[in-house]
Every structure is written in structure tokens, then in C-alpha cells.
A and B are shown apart, each in its own frame.
Chain A
Amino acid sequence: ETGVTQSPTHLIKTRGQQVTLRCSSQSGHNTVSWYQQALGQGPQFIFQYYREEENGRGNFPPRFSGLQFPNYSSELNVNALELDDSALYLCASSRQGGRATDTQYFGPGTRLTVL
């Protein structure tokens, strides 16, 4: 069974640019969540996608957006990058449509650096 994969591993962008991060969910999982982990902090919830629709969002501005595809893979897009967007971005997949008892399986993350 293939786990959650993310690409790219590392990315360097300059302020004002746009970035797209990608995530492939674990086989059999229909729900994808994205988290931002700043250095020395715990992950912060960005949003969750279930069956190609956003079904929940954290306290992040609209320039953070996403997509989920029919195969349940997902993208995170960030527009107008700011220095504070530098972080590790984690994708997690789960199988039960976002039930509170579900287990989220995390990918290795994408390290984004904004200069």
C-alpha cells in the first residue's frame, strides 16, 4: 500500500510569486487535509477536501486555495507569497470523510522558502 506522497520536496520562491504544491493520497482514502508547520511550531490546519469539494477551512486568507481531483489527489495553491509563508506544508489523507475519530496519514511535506 503506497503512503501519502508530496512534491516537490523543497521549493524556493520570492515574495509576490505563486506556488503549487501537490499531494497524492493513500490508496482507498477520499479525504485530504493540508497543514502549515512553521519552524518550531505545531502544524496549523489550512483546509480539508472531501470528494473534490472543500468541506472545512482554518484561519488562512483566501490566497490559500486548493483542489482535489477525481483520483483524490490534491493541490495547494498560494498566491502573492509573503515571507511568513515560509514553512513545511504537510498533506494528510484519511478514509472516512472527515470524521473526528479518523486517523490522518501524513506525507513527508514540502519545505517552502520565500525570499
Chain B
Amino acid sequence: AQSVTQLGSHVSVSEGALVLLRCNYSSSVPPYLFWYVQYPNQGLQLLLKYTTGATLVKGINGFEAEFKKSETSFHLTKPSAHMSDAAEYFCAVSLNTGFQKLVFGTGTRLLVSP
């Protein structure tokens, strides 16, 4: 069964520092991978997704992620954190068994200090 592991339930960075949020997946077939962000009391917003092609994917708000098949990873990065990046981040793998089911990790809360 496909699954997603997000290492670190909380990550703290200073404003201007590098953001690195980790995501590892298990999949018996080529995966489709997504990163979503959730701000307090809101739904999920897509940051970026990997389907096929270029393994370095650029998303909104300066975020990017690299699909590494050999490491079964899809880590999310941003060169310089901003206070507005403080939120919960979810990695998800998409299953296609006649319908699309997103399987989410448990999330990582990003804290940004001044």
C-alpha cells in the first residue's frame, strides 16, 4: 500500500533561513506527489505537484521540491523563510485505482521566528 512519511511534526526556522520539510513515500508504482499548505482555520492549498518529467518542481510562494526516486523522497524547500510561511504542510501521494485518492502524511508545522 502506498504511504507517506513526514519526518518532524514541527520545524522551526528563523526568518530568512532555509526551509526544508521532509517527505518520503512508499509506492509500488511510479508515484504522483503533491505538497499542500494549510493555514489556520482554512482548507488546503496546492503548493506544487510532481507527475512526470522534470524532477525539480517549482511551486507558488518560492517553494520547490525535488523528486528523487532512488531515495523515495520529495522534500520541500524554500531558500529564505518569511513570516507568512508559518503554516501546516502536508505531503501526499496520489493513487489511481479508477478514482483519485490522495494519501496524506501527518503534516509538519513550520514555525518562523523573527
Q: What residues of chain A have their CB less than 8 Å away from a CB belonging to chain B? A: 4, 31, 33, 35, 40-45, 48, 50, 55-56, 58, 90, 92, 94, 98-109
> Min CB distance, B44 to chain A, in Å?
4
Q: Indicate if the CB atoms of B107 and A99 lie closer than 8 Å.
A: no
Cα distance, A45 to B98, chains bound together (Å): 15
Q: List 25 A-B contacts (CB under 8 A).
A: A4-B43, A33-B101, A33-B102, A41-B106, A41-B107, A42-B104, A42-B105, A43-B102, A48-B100, A55-B98, A55-B99, A90-B44, A98-B98, A99-B96, A100-B100, A101-B32, A101-B49, A104-B102, A105-B46, A106-B43, A108-B41, A108-B42, A108-B43, A109-B42, A109-B43
Residues of B23-75 at the interface with A, using a CB-CB cut-off of 8 Å, are 32, 34, 36, 41-46, 49, 51-52
Is B86 in the interface zone, CB < 8 Å from A? no
Contact A98 B102 (CB under 8 A): no
Bound-state Cα–Cα, A107 to B58, Å: 23
Name which residue of chain A comes closest to B46, CB basis: A103
CB contacts (< 8 Å) of A58 on chain B: these are 101
What residues of chain A lie closer than 8 Å to B34, measured between beta carbons?
103
- Give Cα A89 to B77, complex, Å: 28
CB distance from A115 to the nearest CB of B (A): 21
* Docked CA distance A45–B44 (Å): 14
A42 touches B107 (CB 8 A): yes
- Residues on A with C-beta less than 8 A from B36 are 106
Report Cα–Cα, A103/B100, bound state, in Å: 10
Measured between alpha carbons, how far is A107 from B102 in the docked complex, in Å? 15
Q: Does B87 sit within 8 A of A, measured CB to CB?
A: no
Q: Most A CB atoms within 10 A — which of B36, B43, B95, B97?
A: B43
Contact A98:B42 (CB < 8 A) given known A41-B107, A42-B105: no
| Chain B minimum-CB-distance residue to A56 | B99
Given contacts A41-B107, A42-B107, A101-B94, contact A107 B43 (CB under 8 A): yes
* List of A residues within 8 angstroms of B100 by Cβ: 31, 33, 48, 56, 94, 98-100, 102, 104
Q: Is the CB of A43 within 8 A of B90?
A: yes
From residue A91, how far is it (CB to closest CB) to chain B in Å? 8
